[in-house]
Amino acid sequence: GAGVSQSPSNKVTEKGKDVELRCDPISGHTALYWYRQRLGQGLEFLIYFQGNSAPDKSGLPSDRFSAERTGESVSTLTIQRTQQEDSAVYLCASSLGSRPSYNEQFFGPGTRLTVL
Amino acid sequence: AQTVTQSQPEMSVQEAETVTLSCTYDTSESDYYLFWYKQPPSRQMILVIRQEAYKQQNATENRFSVNFQKAAKSFSLKISDSQLGDAAMYFCAYTMDSNYQLIWGAGTKLIIKP
Protein backbone atom coordinates (compact mmCIF):
# COMPACT_ATOMS: atom_id res chain seq x y z
CA GLY A 1 0.00 0.00 0.00
CA ALA A 2 0.96 3.64 -0.30
CA GLY A 3 3.12 5.18 2.37
CA VAL A 4 3.01 8.68 3.79
CA SER A 5 3.33 11.29 1.09
CA GLN A 6 4.19 14.96 1.39
CA SER A 7 4.04 17.84 -1.03
CA PRO A 8 5.78 19.79 -2.25
CA SER A 9 9.09 18.00 -2.02
CA ASN A 10 10.94 21.30 -2.04
CA LYS A 11 9.69 24.83 -1.54
CA VAL A 12 11.64 28.04 -1.96
CA THR A 13 9.90 31.19 -0.80
CA GLU A 14 10.69 34.77 0.00
CA LYS A 15 10.75 36.09 3.51
CA GLY A 16 7.33 37.30 4.57
CA LYS A 17 5.33 35.01 2.28
CA ASP A 18 2.93 32.32 3.53
CA VAL A 19 3.48 28.63 2.73
CA GLU A 20 1.32 25.52 2.97
CA LEU A 21 2.81 22.07 3.39
CA ARG A 22 0.67 19.01 2.81
CA CYS A 23 0.76 15.53 4.32
CA ASP A 24 -1.22 12.49 3.17
CA PRO A 25 -1.00 9.80 5.86
CA ILE A 26 -1.38 6.08 5.42
CA SER A 27 -5.05 5.18 5.10
CA GLY A 28 -6.52 4.12 8.44
CA HIS A 29 -3.87 5.80 10.55
CA THR A 30 -5.58 7.89 13.19
CA ALA A 31 -2.48 9.61 14.57
CA LEU A 32 -0.50 12.17 12.60
CA TYR A 33 2.61 14.08 13.62
CA TRP A 34 4.51 17.06 12.24
CA TYR A 35 8.21 17.50 12.97
CA ARG A 36 10.80 20.09 12.01
CA GLN A 37 14.36 19.05 11.25
CA ARG A 38 16.93 21.80 11.05
CA LEU A 39 20.19 21.12 9.24
CA GLY A 40 22.39 18.78 11.26
CA GLN A 41 19.87 18.39 14.06
CA GLY A 42 17.38 15.85 15.31
CA LEU A 43 13.64 16.07 14.95
CA GLU A 44 11.70 18.73 16.79
CA PHE A 45 8.08 17.88 17.58
CA LEU A 46 5.60 20.47 16.31
CA ILE A 47 2.06 19.09 16.63
CA TYR A 48 0.15 15.85 16.97
CA PHE A 49 -3.33 14.98 15.68
CA GLN A 50 -5.59 12.22 16.92
CA GLY A 51 -8.25 12.09 14.23
CA ASN A 52 -8.91 15.69 13.34
CA SER A 53 -8.30 17.12 16.79
CA ALA A 54 -4.93 18.35 18.01
CA PRO A 55 -4.52 17.55 21.71
CA ASP A 56 -1.04 19.04 21.80
CA LYS A 57 0.02 22.12 19.89
CA SER A 58 2.76 23.00 22.35
CA GLY A 59 5.55 22.33 19.87
CA LEU A 60 4.45 25.00 17.42
CA PRO A 61 7.26 27.61 17.57
CA SER A 62 5.05 30.69 17.24
CA ASP A 63 1.59 31.86 16.27
CA ARG A 64 2.78 32.06 12.68
CA PHE A 65 2.53 28.27 12.60
CA SER A 66 -0.82 26.50 12.37
CA ALA A 67 -2.02 23.09 11.25
CA GLU A 68 -5.27 21.38 10.50
CA ARG A 69 -6.40 17.93 9.56
CA THR A 70 -9.45 16.81 7.65
CA GLY A 71 -10.99 13.80 9.34
CA GLU A 72 -8.39 11.07 9.50
CA SER A 73 -6.75 12.05 6.25
CA VAL A 74 -4.89 15.00 4.84
CA SER A 75 -3.13 17.50 7.08
CA THR A 76 -1.83 20.93 6.18
CA LEU A 77 0.88 22.84 8.03
CA THR A 78 0.75 26.56 7.33
CA ILE A 79 3.54 29.00 8.08
CA GLN A 80 2.59 32.65 7.79
CA ARG A 81 5.02 35.50 7.18
CA THR A 82 7.94 33.11 6.79
CA GLN A 83 11.30 33.98 8.33
CA GLN A 84 14.74 32.69 7.42
CA GLU A 85 14.89 30.67 10.62
CA ASP A 86 11.90 28.66 9.33
CA SER A 87 14.19 27.06 6.74
CA ALA A 88 14.24 23.35 7.53
CA VAL A 89 12.88 19.98 6.45
CA TYR A 90 9.34 19.45 7.66
CA LEU A 91 8.53 15.79 8.22
CA CYS A 92 5.14 14.20 8.66
CA ALA A 93 4.50 10.81 10.23
CA SER A 94 1.41 8.72 10.82
CA SER A 95 0.61 5.72 12.98
CA LEU A 96 -2.33 3.45 13.75
CA GLY A 97 -2.58 4.73 17.29
CA SER A 98 -1.15 7.52 19.34
CA ARG A 99 1.38 5.76 21.53
CA PRO A 100 4.77 5.50 19.79
CA SER A 101 5.75 2.89 22.37
CA TYR A 102 3.80 0.30 20.41
CA ASN A 103 2.53 2.13 17.33
CA GLU A 104 5.29 2.51 14.78
CA GLN A 105 5.45 5.92 13.19
CA PHE A 106 5.74 5.85 9.40
CA PHE A 107 7.40 8.89 7.93
CA GLY A 108 6.99 10.78 4.70
CA PRO A 109 9.96 12.06 2.69
CA GLY A 110 9.54 15.57 4.04
CA THR A 111 9.31 19.03 2.51
CA ARG A 112 12.52 21.02 2.35
CA LEU A 113 11.59 24.66 2.95
CA THR A 114 14.06 27.39 2.05
CA VAL A 115 13.24 30.96 2.98
CA LEU A 116 15.34 33.53 1.13
CA ALA B 1 13.13 16.51 31.34
CA GLN B 2 14.13 13.59 29.21
CA THR B 3 17.04 14.10 26.84
CA VAL B 4 18.80 11.96 24.26
CA THR B 5 22.46 12.48 23.39
CA GLN B 6 24.39 11.14 20.43
CA SER B 7 27.99 12.17 20.92
CA GLN B 8 29.31 11.04 17.52
CA PRO B 9 28.36 13.47 14.76
CA GLU B 10 29.99 11.20 12.17
CA MET B 11 31.33 7.67 11.98
CA SER B 12 32.96 5.78 9.14
CA VAL B 13 33.49 2.07 8.65
CA GLN B 14 34.90 -0.18 5.99
CA GLU B 15 32.37 -2.23 4.07
CA ALA B 16 31.79 -5.65 5.73
CA GLU B 17 33.18 -4.43 9.05
CA THR B 18 31.25 -3.82 12.28
CA VAL B 19 30.45 -0.38 13.66
CA THR B 20 28.84 0.78 16.91
CA LEU B 21 26.88 4.00 17.25
CA SER B 22 26.46 5.48 20.72
CA CYS B 23 23.39 6.90 22.41
CA THR B 24 22.83 7.97 26.00
CA TYR B 25 19.66 9.29 27.53
CA ASP B 26 18.51 10.89 30.71
CA THR B 27 15.27 9.94 32.40
CA SER B 28 13.88 9.33 35.86
CA GLU B 29 11.34 6.85 34.53
CA SER B 30 11.72 3.11 34.86
CA ASP B 31 9.42 2.08 32.03
CA TYR B 32 10.22 3.48 28.60
CA TYR B 33 11.07 2.58 25.03
CA LEU B 34 14.10 3.28 22.89
CA PHE B 35 14.44 3.32 19.14
CA TRP B 36 17.01 3.61 16.41
CA TYR B 37 15.88 5.20 13.16
CA LYS B 38 17.74 5.43 9.86
CA GLN B 39 17.40 8.43 7.55
CA PRO B 40 18.94 7.85 4.11
CA PRO B 41 19.49 10.72 1.64
CA SER B 42 15.88 10.26 0.51
CA ARG B 43 15.00 11.82 3.91
CA GLN B 44 12.43 9.13 4.73
CA MET B 45 12.93 8.04 8.34
CA ILE B 46 12.84 4.26 8.78
CA LEU B 47 12.58 2.35 12.05
CA VAL B 48 15.59 0.05 12.48
CA ILE B 49 15.09 -1.44 15.93
CA ARG B 50 13.23 -0.89 19.19
CA GLN B 51 13.91 -1.86 22.78
CA GLU B 52 11.53 -2.04 25.74
CA ALA B 53 13.25 -0.95 28.95
CA TYR B 54 11.61 -3.73 30.96
CA LYS B 55 13.25 -6.35 28.75
CA GLN B 56 16.73 -7.41 29.76
CA GLN B 57 17.41 -9.13 26.46
CA ASN B 58 18.97 -6.93 23.82
CA ALA B 59 16.90 -6.49 20.66
CA THR B 60 18.25 -7.80 17.35
CA GLU B 61 17.08 -7.39 13.77
CA ASN B 62 19.24 -9.29 11.31
CA ARG B 63 22.58 -7.40 11.13
CA PHE B 64 21.41 -4.78 13.64
CA SER B 65 21.60 -5.28 17.38
CA VAL B 66 21.61 -3.06 20.43
CA ASN B 67 23.57 -3.01 23.66
CA PHE B 68 21.09 -1.74 26.22
CA GLN B 69 22.65 -0.80 29.56
CA LYS B 70 19.74 0.43 31.69
CA ALA B 71 21.77 1.44 34.73
CA ALA B 72 24.18 3.41 32.59
CA LYS B 73 21.33 4.80 30.47
CA SER B 74 23.14 3.73 27.35
CA PHE B 75 21.63 2.35 24.14
CA SER B 76 24.19 1.68 21.41
CA LEU B 77 23.51 0.27 17.96
CA LYS B 78 25.81 -2.32 16.43
CA ILE B 79 25.77 -2.88 12.69
CA SER B 80 27.51 -6.05 11.58
CA ASP B 81 28.77 -6.76 8.07
CA SER B 82 28.26 -3.14 7.05
CA GLN B 83 26.86 -2.61 3.57
CA LEU B 84 26.92 0.41 1.29
CA GLY B 85 23.16 0.73 1.73
CA ASP B 86 23.66 1.30 5.45
CA ALA B 87 25.08 4.75 4.76
CA ALA B 88 22.65 7.21 6.33
CA MET B 89 21.95 9.39 9.34
CA TYR B 90 21.05 7.32 12.40
CA PHE B 91 18.87 8.76 15.13
CA CYS B 92 18.26 7.47 18.62
CA ALA B 93 14.84 8.23 20.12
CA TYR B 94 13.04 7.75 23.44
CA THR B 95 9.45 7.64 24.60
CA MET B 96 7.38 6.58 27.59
CA ASP B 97 4.27 4.46 27.35
CA SER B 98 2.12 7.34 28.57
CA ASN B 99 3.57 9.73 26.02
CA TYR B 100 2.83 10.34 22.37
CA GLN B 101 6.04 12.22 21.66
CA LEU B 102 9.36 10.80 20.61
CA ILE B 103 12.41 12.62 21.94
CA TRP B 104 15.25 12.56 19.46
CA GLY B 105 19.01 12.73 19.52
CA ALA B 106 20.90 14.94 17.05
CA GLY B 107 21.94 12.01 14.87
CA THR B 108 25.12 10.30 13.69
CA LYS B 109 26.14 10.30 10.06
CA LEU B 110 27.39 6.86 9.06
CA ILE B 111 29.77 6.63 6.11
CA ILE B 112 30.54 3.26 4.54
CA LYS B 113 33.87 3.02 2.75
CA PRO B 114 33.92 0.56 -0.17
Beta bridge partners of B93: B35, B104
What pLDDT was estimated at residue A25?
A: 96
A5: contact with B, CB 8 A cutoff? no
What pLDDT was estimated at residue A98?
A: 79
Please choose, from the candidates A27, A29, A13, A34, the residue with its C-alpha nearest in 3D space to the C-alpha of residue A76. A34
At B66-91, the pLDDT tens digits run 999 999 999 999 999 999 999 999 99
B89: contact with A, CB 8 A cutoff? no
When pLDDT is averaged across residues B23-51 and rounded to a whole number, the result is 93
Does residue A1 register a pLDDT over 60?
no
Surface of B (19-58) touching A: CB under 8 A: 32-33, 35, 42-47, 52
Please tell me the least confidently modeled range out of B47-56, B77-86, B97-106. B97-106
A93: contact with B, CB 8 A cutoff? yes
At A63-114, the pLDDT tens digits run 999 999 987 899 999 999 999 999 999 999 999 987 777 788 999 999 999 9
How far is it, in rounded angstroms, from Cα A68 to Cα A42? Answer: 24
**Cβ contact A89–B43 (<8 Å):** yes
How far is it, in rounded angstroms, from Cα A53 to Cα A60? Answer: 15
Q: Choosing among A33, A60, A101, which should be mutated to test the B contact, i.e. which has the most B CBs within 10 A?
A: A101
